[in-house]
A and B are shown apart, each in its own frame.
Chain A
Amino acid sequence: MPVDAKHLAARRELAQGISAVERPGPAANQRIQDALAASAADARNALVVGLTGAPGAGKSSLAAALADVARAGGRRVAILAIDPSSHESGGALLGDRVRIDEHPDDDGRFTRSIATRGSGRSLAHVAAAATILVEAAGFDLIFVETVGAGQAEIGIARLADVLLVVEGPEGGDEVQAMKAGILEVADIVAVNKSDRPGAQAAFDRLRTGLALGAGAPELVLVSATVGAGISELLATIDEVGAGRGVRGRIRRVEAHLVAAAESHVDAQVREATASGALTTRAEQIVAGEQPLTGSITALFGISESPDA
């Protein structure tokens, strides 16, 4: 059966909207504001689930498995898959669709691959804005999957209503589990690949490590490939995300504002690096010709706190 061109029109509009907000400026801001207004008018409160974890832990497969279960339950589901851009070339290889089955004639699904571009962080600057647009397009459940720095990745925690950290059978020794970082802000930790040896042991190690802290996240054992524990995980996600109301959308706008500020600073840093101003200033500081205080303002246009 050929794809219905009319069906694809809505997806095309959303897809082009995401491309448009990837180029920051007044036009992008207008789009984001229109989307927020549309969601508010329709009283939409999409549930945004962040997935993060080490490369190879199975984030894409798990997002796809969760999406299948949710879609079978009648929910409209989107996946935003974020992968890093090369610092050298600015290009990116976005391969998450390999693990996500295509459903060309199902308008209740949407998948988009996003490169981090200049962000130098594991979350793309556009992630929050894209999520706002996807919500306005009528998707109830949005998975944002981001490259696993594994630790110290809090951008996704700021954006998501529910943060799911994915671990493989090899991951998560007790000391790692006690370390500050992503596990501290995780709502749920899923040990994936329960069909493989070592998964139960990883689960036990994590349980021991996490139990020592206050406010320990939910811990679940799943297998995306054989489909074990997926419905239960989705139920846990819904429980954690329940009662968010408009708070979720406020959170997305906060994340967008922080991303916009970071984007601005990143651009200033790139410019100061490329122009040589950064090196020149550093040389002057080393030679005692310029004070350290005031240098950040001079280079990047950021005001320094008077106490600094």
Chain B
Amino acid sequence: MAERTSPIRVLIAKPGLDGHDRGAKVLARGLRDEGFEVIYTGLRRTVDAIVAAAIEEDVDVVGCSILSGAHATLLPKLVSSLRASGASDVLVVAGGIIPEADRPELEQAGISGIFGPGTTIAEVATFLRANARRR
């Protein structure tokens, strides 16, 4: 494995309308302590805003926290927008309340990791280190 010369950059986004960002903040802080550069964008961002932010920040990972149930529409749209913008090597992962039954479809759409309640920060960090692009 090639040694990274710079920290992995992760955009933590809250797409959609739910107003609960405690989980996202805990993850942002936890990943910072794991050595990641975390860009936190705040609540209620549109998919277009998240894509533009991911491009401008040149992130390796976009992590979405969704508690509203809108994951089935928002996440595939996010992945396709990123790809259309040339950022196809950006890893997209999701956390929040995502029913088991919805997972295969999301994975099919290009969501690389889905983390439900109870996932530890260390598990997320390990997954990102193993799967984020190298540079």
Query: Which residues does A use to contact B, with CB under 8 Å?
Result: 1-3, 5, 8-9, 11-12, 15-16, 18-19, 22-23, 85-86, 88-95, 97-98, 102-105, 110-113, 115, 117
Instruction: Count chain A CB atoms within 10 A of each CB in B33, B34, B36, B56 and give the residue with the most.
Output: B56
Instruction: Count chain B CB atoms within 10 A of each CB in A2, A22, A117 and give the residue with the most.
Output: A2
> How many angstroms from the CA of A23 to the CA of B7 in the assembled complex?
11
Q: In this assembly, does B29 line the interface, its C-beta being within 8 Å of a C-beta of chain A?
A: yes
Check if B86 sits within 8 Å of A102, measured CB to CB: no
> How many angstroms from the CA of A111 to the CA of B32 in the assembled complex?
20
Check if A97 sits within 8 Å of B87, measured CB to CB: no
| A90 CB to nearest chain B CB (Å) | 5
- Contact partner of B56 (CB less than 8 A), chosen from A1, A15, A85, is A15
- Contact partner of B35 (CB less than 8 A), chosen from A23, A91, A94, A102, is A91
> How many angstroms from the CA of A263 to the CA of B55 in the assembled complex?
27
> How many angstroms from the CA of A110 to the CA of B36 in the assembled complex?
22
Interface residues in B96-135 by Cβ distance below 8 A to A read 135
Check if B42 sits within 8 Å of A104, measured CB to CB: no
What residues of chain A lie closer than 8 Å to B33, measured between beta carbons?
86, 88-89, 91
Q: Which residue of B lies closest to A81 (CB)?
A: B39
| A308 CB to nearest chain B CB (Å) | 35
> How many residues of chain B have a CB within 8 Å of chain A?
34
13 CB contacts below 8 A, A to B, read: A1-B48, A5-B84, A8-B86, A11-B52, A12-B58, A12-B86, A12-B87, A19-B6, A89-B33, A91-B38, A104-B52, A104-B53, A111-B53
Q: Which residue of A lies closest to B29 (CB)?
A: A93
* In the complex, number of A-B residue pairs with CB atoms less than 8 Å apart: 109
Interface residues in B63-85 by Cβ distance below 8 A to A read 81, 84-85
What residues of chain A lie closer than 8 Å to B37, measured between beta carbons?
85, 91-92, 94, 115
Closest 6 CB pairs of A and B: A102-B49, A104-B52, A98-B42, A91-B32, A15-B58, A104-B48
Q: In this assembly, does B91 line the interface, its C-beta being within 8 Å of a C-beta of chain A?
A: no
> How many angstroms from the CA of A52 to the CA of B42 in the assembled complex?
22
With contact pairs A19-B58, A98-B40, A98-B42 given, residues A90 and B52 touching in the complex (Cβ less than 8 Å)? no
Check if B6 sits within 8 Å of A23, measured CB to CB: yes
Instruction: Count chain B CB atoms within 10 A of each CB in A1, A12, A91, A98 and give the residue with the most.
Output: A91
What residues of chain A lie closer than 8 Å to B61, measured between beta carbons?
none
Check if A113 sits within 8 Å of B57, measured CB to CB: yes
B interface SS class: mixed
| B129 CB to nearest chain A CB (Å) | 12
Q: Which residue of A lies closest to B38 (CB)?
A: A93
Check if A16 sits within 8 Å of B81, measured CB to CB: no
Q: In this assembly, does B51 line the interface, its C-beta being within 8 Å of a C-beta of chain A?
A: yes
> How many angstroms from the CA of A111 to the CA of B49 in the assembled complex?
12
Check if A8 sits within 8 Å of B38, measured CB to CB: no
Check if B52 sits within 8 Å of A97, measured CB to CB: no
Check if A94 sits within 8 Å of B40, measured CB to CB: yes
> How many angstroms from the CA of A22 to the CA of B45 in the assembled complex?
28
Check if A98 sits within 8 Å of B52, measured CB to CB: no
Check if B56 sits within 8 Å of A11, measured CB to CB: yes
| B48 CB to nearest chain A CB (Å) | 4
